[in-house]
Structures are given as C-alpha cells and as structure tokens.
Amino acid sequence: MSTKEMYRSLGIREEIYELGEKVLLELKPRFEKIDETAEYNQLKIINAFHKERVSEACLYGTKGYGYNDLGRDTLERVYADVFKTEDALVRPQITCGTHALALALMSNLRPGDELLSAAGKPYDTLEEVIGIRESRGSLKEYGISYAQADLKSDGSFDFDSIREKINERTKLVTIQRSKGYQTRRSFGVRDIAEAIGFIRSIKPEVKIMIDNCYGEFVEREEPSEYGADMVVGSLIKNPGGGLAPIGGYICGTKECVENAAYRLTSPGLGKEVGASLGILPEFYQGLFLSPVITAAALKGAIFAANIYERLGFDVLPDGKEERHDIIQAVTFNKAEALISFCRGIQAAAPVDSFVTPEPWDMPGYDSKVIMAAGNFVSGSSIELSADGPLKPPYSVYFQGGLTFPHVKYGILNSVEYLMRESGQSITLPD
C-alpha cells in the first residue's frame, strides 16, 4: 500500500493529502533549520548528562523523606547546566506550570513588595495567583501588590511604561515568553534579553523571572543565559519530552531556587527532602528527547499555519514568520468550524480517538470551551492537542505532537473534518 492509500484508509481524501505534500515541499528548508536547532540542543543536553555523570543508579529514586536522592539531585544539576543557571528545582511535587510559577513568585516576594509584569496581562491562571481575580491565598492576600506594563499595540515591550512602573517596592519583574492563549506575538530570547538589560539598567537588584512555558528548546539559547534570575516551566510541556507524567521546574540563581525549595517543602528542609519515587527515568529520558519532540511540535505548528493560510484562514503566527514557541492559532469566525477542527484532531489521537469532543463550561472561563486531547498523559500539551473558547472570533489554539508524521496526519484530518462536517466550503488551491 502506498502512503497515499494509507491516508485514504484513514479517511483523508486525495486532494487533502496532495495539498499537504505541496505545502511540505516548500517547508523543507525551514524544517532543516529546525533540525539544526534540535541537533544543537540535543548536544547541549547530552553534554550535561556526561558532565554530571548520569548513571544507572540515578534512575532508581527514593521513597519516604528522600534524603540523599542521587537521581533527583543529579537531575537538578543537569537542568542547571542545560539552562546555564546556578541551581535548579525539578520535582514531581511541583504539580503543573501554574504551581511552579506560583511557587517562584510566593517564595521570592515578601509582604510589602510589588510584582511587575513587563509583558502585559499574564497567563490566565496567574490572575488568581496574583490576585488580579480575587482568590484565596493570592499574593494580594499576603500584602504583595501588582503592577502591569502593557505591551505596545505592535506587541513589543513598552520601555517607557516599564520605567514608569518600576518603583522602590518593585522586587520582582515577570516576563511571559510565549503568548499563551493571547493574540499577541511571542517573544524571542533576544527580545527578552533586551528587556532584561533595560530593567537592570533601571533597577540592578530587582529579580527577573521568565515564564518559559512552551518556549524551551525552540531556540538555541534560553532567557536564563541573558541574566534572568529564574526561568520557570512545566514538565508536561516541552522539557518533559512527552514522557514526564507530572512536574515543573525552576532554574535560577542559588538564592531564588533555595527560596523556592524552602517554600515547596519547608523552612529548614528545602531541597533535602522530596522523594522522587519511581519517576526519574521519565524525567531523564523526557529531557533527553525534548529537543526532537519540540522540533516535531514546531514543524507541526508551521505545517498547520501554512495549510490553513492557504485555505484562507487567519493564522497566528503566519506561515512565514520566525517561531518562539510551539503554539499555533487559527481563526475560524464560525463556531461549527472550530468544533470540526477539534473533532478532526481528536479523531487522529492515539488514545480516545473514538470520542467526540463537545463544548463545555470549564472553570475559570467566561464561555464554553472545546478541547481535543487524546493523550497518553492527561492534559499534556506537548502531545497533539487543541482547544478554543466558543466565542468570536472562534480561534483554536493548537500545539504539540510527539512525532511530525502524527501531527501531519492530525492536521490533514482536521481539514477533512472541516470540509465534511462544518458546511464550510473550501476550495483547495491547485
């Protein structure tokens, strides 16, 4: 059977397959660049494994208090090497990205301090952490205030506003690298480096934290190489390589990481406790695979952008521009089309492919949300996944994919569903 016939047997009509081939041909040079970045980052990671002498004994893990957990402590040194920081906290006890970010903030701020977001509105879930939306246990409840320097209308940093908002109480400045589920652009490491330099020129001693979610290994460098005190992220995104079943990381200065460790466990105990249980093989192997997994997701996002651009939809980033994270937005302007897209992605999943996603009232959102996620790890967004709020302009946010062939099939299937189900008329370009 030919590959085309394989697609046919999976329900992808020939014109859609041909469209995919055509788009792919043009993307070849770009994909080569992505492979070069993956190669560079793979070497960076293997170098850290060698330097820290990762051994079979590192894969065993501990129970109970977890004193002298060789594998855990070595993994944290590997992360510190990879992100070029003094120290790192990488734990299964950090439950998700929001938890890692909340931990970094709560442990490095004290009552009376002010937090400044230099990149406008932060990720949705942080609104409750900060207290922008009232919430129990927020920074606000502990007497930590918040200021925000909005981005300029072109999405770039507003340096005048940042200067204006930094005051004698400003203790920590946060910058979100990825757009997350906003319509702004994501920042490149170079953009962030410039912002860090500017902030330091105004207040040298202020702590700078980068929300690094979805950005890891997309470029050759990380923001921690340009003077950020902390880079923070989730292990069920890029650096977990699809294998980590839980976890978050904080890489940064010794002081910042220690503060976080004392908050995660307890004053006096810090990094010394926290059994790794049986989880270390997945953490090590996931990090090891992460550069090529991230490359697959990145290629998938670019493929999706180019396919949907040709079909006449608005896409962000567009098909040509440089990438700084793995998220792709497509705007449908029609609820039915958004739903069909998600159903096509779900039907291509390795797990629960037979399930039909329905829009539902998700906590924390002001409209119904539809999600496609047939994942090995629940909620993992380094795996092929998509979601979108059921409100104008009916945009879907699509990300992940552990292998490029799988993302390719997922995207072609989404086009198939769109044509078949939504009544959307699509003319395939010749």
Q: What kind and span of H or E run contains 88?
A: strand 87-91
Q: Which of 37, 85, 234, 331 binds ligand PLP (CB under 6 A)?
A: 234
Separation of alpha carbons 276 and 274, rounded Å: 6
3-state secondary structure of 114: strand
For the CB of residue 315, give the shortest distance to ligand PLP in the complex, in Å.
19
For the CB of residue 178, give the shortest distance to ligand PLP in the complex, in Å.
4
Q: 65 vs 365, which CB is nearer to ligand PLP?
A: 365
**Contacts to ligand PLP from residues 166-195, by CB under 6 A:** 176, 178, 180
Separation of alpha carbons 189 and 83, rounded Å: 13
117 binds ligand PLP (CB under 6 A): no
Q: 123 vs 341, which CB is nearer to ligand PLP?
A: 123
User: Tokens standing for 326?
Assistant: 């793995």
Q: Which of 12, 59, 189, 213 binds ligand PLP (CB under 6 A)?
A: 213
Chain-centroid distance of CA 121 in Å reads: 17
For the CB of residue 88, give the shortest distance to ligand PLP in the complex, in Å.
18
**Per 3-state DSSP, what percentage of the chain is helix, strand, and coil (rounded to 5)?**
45, 15, 45
Residues in contact with ligand PLP, total (CB under 6 A)? 13
Separation of alpha carbons 385 and 75, rounded Å: 28
Q: Does the N-terminal peptide bond of residue 317 adopt cis geometry, omega within 30 degrees of 0?
A: yes
For the CB of residue 353, give the shortest distance to ligand PLP in the complex, in Å.
24
For the CB of residue 238, give the shortest distance to ligand PLP in the complex, in Å.
10
CB 229 within 8 A of CB 210: no
Site map 57..96 versus ligand PLP, x via CB under 6 A: ---------------------------------------x
User: Tokens standing for 279?
Assistant: 């989880």
Separation of alpha carbons 430 and 417, rounded Å: 20
Q: Which of 157, 214, 283, 313 binds ligand PLP (CB under 6 A)?
A: 214
| Contact set with ligand PLP (CB under 6 A) | 96-98, 101, 123, 125, 176, 178, 180, 211, 213-214, 234
